[in-house]
Each structure stands twice: as structure tokens, then as C-alpha cells.
Amino acid sequence: MEVIVNLLIWLHIIAFIAGGSNSVVGPVIGARLASATPDQRAGYYGVMNALSQVGKVAMAALLITGPLIMFMKYGGLGGASVWFWVKMVLVAVMLAAIIYGGIQFKKSQGGDAEAGKRADIAHKITALAFLGVLLSAVFAFG
């Protein structure tokens, strides 16, 4: 059982890294879109669309492995600390910002400049929530 839990934790960390890379790269690319040439913009959109797919798989993996780890390693949520719940709230903020930002980013690809600005804000919120998830996880799980 311990090996399975450790493998789940490993998968959870890999998914967090893969998904978290979007939180770093998204705002960097978003900042360059406004001044990009049409060819550059097409390339940036291609990278962001690929990262979006990675992020979706990563989020699904996190949402599956997280609860499995909690129940297999800790027996459920009964002993979850305040920091764990802070982490969960920040995960919900991340998820909402990712969904909203993704919708806005698709609109921006269609030429809606205001949607691009909203997507950029959502990426920044995601990045801040990502940092908060990391910090609260450290305190929750030591």
C-alpha cells in the first residue's frame, strides 16, 4: 500500500509541475501578445493551446490523485488542518481562474482584445493562487 501511495504522490507532484508551468509561462506569453506580429501571435497561440492541453490533463490528474492520497494515506479528511482547507480554497480559485482565463483566451484568439486583457488577469490570478497552494501545502503536510 505504501508503494501505491508514494507513486500517487509522485504523480501528484509531476502533475503539479506540469500544470504549474502554465502559471509561469501564461503571463509571460500574454505580455508579448499585444506587440506581436501576426506570425508571432500565431506561434504564441500555438504554444498556449498546447500548454492548455497539458494543463487540463494535469488538473485532472491532481483532482484524482489528491483525494486518493488523502484517503489512502490519511484515512480521509478528518484530520485535515486549516492549512489543508486554505490549500483547497486556493485550488478552487485556480480552477475558476483557469476556466475563465481559457474562455477569454479563446475569445482573444478570435480578435477580442479586451478578452485578451481579461485572460491575462486570469493568468496572473492563477499564478498567485498557485504560489499560495504551494505555500499552504508545505504548512499542511510539512
The pLDDT profile of the chain, 142 residues, written as one tens digit per residue, is 899 999 999 999 999 999 888 878 878 887 888 788 999 989 998 998 899 899 889 999 999 999 999 999 999 999 899 999 999 999 999 999 999 999 999 998 898 989 988 998 998 899 899 999 999 999 999 8
Our count of domains for the chain comes to: 1
Nearest one of 106, 5, 90, 9 to 52, comparing CA atoms: 106
Residue-range definition of the domain harbouring residue 90: 2-141
The Cα 110–Cα 116 span in angstroms is: 10
Q: What residue type is assigned to position 93 of the chain?
A: V
Phi and psi angles of residue 18, each rounded to the nearest 5 degrees, phi first: -65, -45
